[in-house]
Structure formats: structure tokens, C-alpha cells
Structure 1
Amino acid sequence: MIRIFFRHIWDSLKNLKRNGWMTVAAVSSVMITLTLVGVFMSVILNTTKLAGNLENNVRIVAYMKLDSHDQSKTIADPNDATKQIPNPNYQRIYNEVKAVKNVENLKFSSKEEQLKNLTDSLGSVWNLYKGDANPLYDAYIIRANDSKNVQQITTDIKKISDISDVNNGGVNTKQIFALSNNIQTYGGIFALLLVFVAMFLISNTIRITIMSRSREIQIMRLVGAKNSYIRWPFFLEGAWVGLLGAILPIVLMFFLYRIVYAGVQPSLTTQELYMYKPEVFLTTMSIGLVAIGVVIGSFGATISMRRYLKA
């Protein structure tokens, strides 16, 4: 049994060499298909992960009125600007926001801190707004215990006095989630179509090979060879085509994904968003591409054989 199996492997390799340009055409079709599948799957999987990060990190920003000094322990005396008195409303807004149902985390962000972040992100032109020219507001950054509760928390915080505005991402967040869903749906459909196209091309290529060897197959059947014995070399030939076609897409993925990761991830990290790390992702993707290549190659060969052999 083992000797017969290795003989089938040897026969399949000889067939690949014998068919020459037909083999090159089949391998090329698989190569192009798997490259596109790899690109689409990388986009789909990372978009799904980023959308998940975003959903778990949706923040609510509550801006306080300009005359609010919620984090100042002392304020100027209304009757004498040169004197400081204890702030009677120290952390009143903080405590009211913290008491809102489903608030998991609460952080104060001063307008000076926000200006610094803008300056770091957008350039030194924002230095013009330092000091009294700062147009920003002190704010509280709130995180909900569940993204489903964001809207209700926003509504409750708006009712607190001395809160001028509340922002939770609104339409932009919804658009990102919608875009993510579209990419997953249509990208997945397109990837499946590519796989079927590759399977069709491989089956046609192997069918032509079978047609050129139809006399040989007929002789083998006349001398009593079983269908499984005749089928195995073609089945393995399709698997070899798929395996060879997966090599270049894997190499391209290793180079391209690392370049994209190194260029994009630093800016995403500042927003607490993360792509899949290359070490784990590329290993998994490589195994997946090899598996897809072998499956579509062998299955394409099986489809072709059905016209010449009875099951």
C-alpha cells in the first residue's frame, strides 16, 4: 500500500513535468488567486479586529463650560480676585458623572493637555493657541462597561449642569462599523469567487491533460486498473499545483504585511487600536493559503476526473 502511494506521488510529479506549459498555466492561476485571497483576507481580518477594538474603546467625551473649575481645589474670590478660596464645587461634576449607571472608567483631560495632543499630532502651528488663546474646553473622558450603553450614558451626562456638550463618536463611529461589515461581507464573497475561479481553471487544465492521455486511461481500465488507482495521480497532481501556487503569495505576504504593519501600527497604537502581529498572523495565513491551494487543486482534479471515470 505504501509503495503504491509513493508510486502515485512519483507519477504525479512526472505528469507535472510532462505537461510543461499546462502546469505553468495552472500554477499561475492558483498563484494569482491566492495572492488576491491573501490580500483580501488580511484586510477583512484586520478590519474586523480594528472594528472590535473600536467598539470596545468607544469613548464619551463630556466638555465642561468655560467657567467650570471642577478639578481646581481653590478658585479666585469673587469679591477679591487677588485671593484664593476653597472651591465649594470641587469635583461635583466628576462625582455626578461617576454616579451615572454603566460608567466603567472616568478620566479628566484639561484643555492644556488636549492642546498638547493636537500639537503633537498636527504640528507646531497649534502653539499659537497656548495660554489664554486656548479655545478648547476641560473635559471628562468616559468609557462605558458595554458599547450598547454608550447612547444612554451620553443622554444621562447631558442632563448634568455645567456640561456644555457630550460627544460619543456618533455618526463617525456608526459609519466605521458599517464599513467594517461591508468589507467583511463583500470581501468574503469576492474571496470565495476567486477560489471558485481558480478551481475552474485548474479543473479545465487537468481536463485537457486527461484528454491527451485518454488512450492511456482506457488501456489501464482494460487491464483491470481500478478507478481509484487511475484517479490518485491526477488527484495528487492537482494538490501539487495548489501547493506550488501558494509559495509566491506566502513570500509576498511576508514582505508586504510587515511593511504595512510597520507603517500603520504606530499611529493606531495612540488610539488603542491594534492590527494582528506579523509573527502569529503570517504563520496562520501561510498555513491557510497552503490549505486552500491544496484543496482547490485536488478538488479541481477530482471534478475533471468524473467525466472519464465512473464513481
Structure 2
Amino acid sequence: MKILRLFKTGIRDAFKGVFRNFSLSLAAIFSIVITLLLVTASIILSANLNNITKQIEKDITIVTFMQKDATDKDVDSLKGKLEEVDNIASFTYKSKAEIKKEISNDSDVFNALLSQFDDESVPLKNVFHIKVIDVRYINDTAKTIKGFEEVSAIQYGEGMVEQLVSVFSVIEKITIGVVIAMIVVSAFLISNTIKITIYSRRTEIDIMRLVGTSNFAIRFPHLVEGFIIGALGSIIPILATIYGYTIMYSNLDGYIFSKMFLLIKPYNFVYLISFVLFIIGSLVGMIGSYRAVRKYLKI
């Protein structure tokens, strides 16, 4: 019962403390709002860049042309070999007859040219379209495929793909670094602002110690107060995330520049970020309060 009473008293005193020192509490909340808005922008940018990178990597294909005189046995043989290559995620096969039909349907000119040939004599090659698991190793995978005797040539944008992957890797590392840096900076700023709020009440803490109040009874209301300030400070960034990102997604029709660069859909994404912002705000608020009060509880 005593612990329950301490909890109730601590929560009541925490709310009183927020409003009794409203100007300092407001300054702390404002600091949290600004820093969490910056964290939000960094997370959204990082997540969408990472999403776009994955989309582009997923679309990269190794087009593998078989020998002109390849038989059904050669096709089956190559399928078996491709299944043994570690970095291959999937592959699809198109016979030269299927390719002839597709090209003929797309263009009257090609239709007129290819209609002179039957499916066996048409001057085309059987093709495999191959997707890889990890684009970073696409060059090694392509070399392995090119070494098979059934293969005459491959195409996948050699050189350009490697440069693209390298650029995306650098961008991903930079954005992750920015997010981490923003979280650390926000934690530092919020913590120090909370400490200033607690510092202004050092006399009150000293008096409580002199009358024999336990460390827990002194610390708990301030921890709750830090939580309240952090939680209140996260409200505006959370609303900005939910409504701002949803409106932006709608106005941009879900993509940037072209449909090749799709944005993350808002529904689950904004609520996940909102949860992260609430945790960062409230947790850092509590940590800032704990560090500040601990200084005055040391003997």
C-alpha cells in the first residue's frame, strides 16, 4: 500500500511540477518538438532512400543468351546449372519462338520480317532472365553464368550497375549515420533542457532530503515529469508525421520523379515512426530527469 501511495503521490506531484514551472517545461517541450521534427525528417528520408534502392536492385536482371543452336537438352542442362549458383534468386526462360511472337505483336515491321521464318529457323536466341539475391556480387555471378558452355552472351549493364550499387551503398550509410547522429543530438539537447528544469528546483530537492524523504520518493515524481514533458513534446512531431507524410504521399501520387522511385506507403510506416518518436521523447525525458536528480541525491 505504501508503494501504491508513493506512486499516486509521485504522479500527482509530477503533473503539478510541469504546470508550476510552466515556462521551463514549455522550453523543454519546445526543444523536444524541434529535435524530434529533425529526427522525423531524417528517418523518413533514410527509409525512403533505402526503399528506392531495394526497388532498383530488385529490377536489375542478367539477360542470358543461349547458343544459337541450343537444343531442349541444352536448356534443361543450363537450368540445372543455374539452380546451383548461390547468388541467383530466380530465373525465367523464354524460347526464341516466344520472343518471336512478342516482337511480332509489338511491331508490324518486325512482324513482316519475322513472318518469313518458322519457330526453328528464326534468327533469335533462347533467353534466360535472371534475378540475383545480392546485387553487390552481380559481377561474380555474371562471370559464372558466362562460363557455362550453353551461354553465348550476357547483358546486365556491366560497370554501370556496380557504380549504381556503390552510390546507393554510400547514400544508405550516410542517411543511417544522419539518423543516428540526429537521435544522439536530440537526446543530448532534450536531456540538458530537462536538467535545467530540474536544476531550478534544487532547493526543493535539498529540503526534501533534509526532512528524510527517501531517494525513490524524490526521484520518482521527476522521472514521471520527464516522461510527461517528453511525451507532450512528441505530440506535434507525431501529428506532423501522420498528416504531413500522408498528404505528401497523396500529392506526389506515391512516387518521386517517376514510378521507378516509389515512396513507402503511409499506413503502417507513419504509425511505426510515431511510436519511435514517442519512445525517444518520453525515454530521453526520463533519462534527463534521472541524471539531473541523481546529482542532488549524491552524498
* Partner Cα separation in structure 1 for residue 197 and residue 256 of structure 2: 52
TM-score after normalising by structure 2: 0.71
Change beyond 3 A, Cα 1:2–1:18? same
Q: Gaps (5+ residues) in structure 2?
A: 111-123
What residue is the counterpart of 2:269 in the other structure?
Answer: 281
Match of 1:76 in 2: none
Kept after mapping to 1: 8 A contact 2:249/2:263: yes
- Among 118, 126, 129, which residue is 1:142 paired with? 129
Q: Which residue identity does 1:143 align to in structure 2?
A: I
User: Measured at CA, do residues 130 and 258 of structure 1 come closer, stay the same or move farther in structure 2, by a change above 3 Å?
Assistant: farther
2 CA distance for matches of 1:58 and 1:217?
63
Cα distance, 1:51–1:33 mapped onto 2, change above 3 Å:
same
Which residue number corresponds to residue 120 of structure 2? none
1:22 alignment partner in structure 2: 24
Q: What SS class does the counterpart of residue 236 from structure 1 fall into?
A: helix
> Gaps spanning 5+ residues in structure 1: where?
71-87, 118-128
- Counterpart code for 2:293: M
Q: Secondary structure at the match of 1:170?
A: coil
Q: Deviations over 1:153-181 (max 9, x none)?
A: 53444887996x63324344334433443
Note the C-alpha offset of 1:297. 0.9
Picking from 193, 202, 208, the partner of 1:205 is 193
Aligned length: 275
Aligned to 2:91, the other structure's residue is in SS state: strand
Q: Distance in 2 between matches of 1:267 and 1:44?
A: 14
**Which structure 2 residues correspond to residues 1-311 of structure 1 after superposition, within 5 A?**
1-62=3-64, 98=79, 101=82, 102=85, 104-108=90-94, 131=109, 140=127, 142-144=129-131, 146-147=133-134, 150-152=138-140, 154-155=142-143, 156-157=145-146, 166-262=154-250, 263=252, 265=254, 276-310=264-298
SS of equivalent to 1:224? coil
TM-aligned CA distance change 1:61 to 1:266, over 3 Å: farther
Q: Is the 8 A contact 1:44 1:184 kept in 2?
A: yes
Cα RMSD over matched residues?
A: 4.2
CA shift at 1:24, angstroms? 1.9
Q: 1:170 to 1:30 in 2, by over 3 A?
A: farther
Q: Is the 8 A contact 1:36 1:191 kept in 2?
A: no
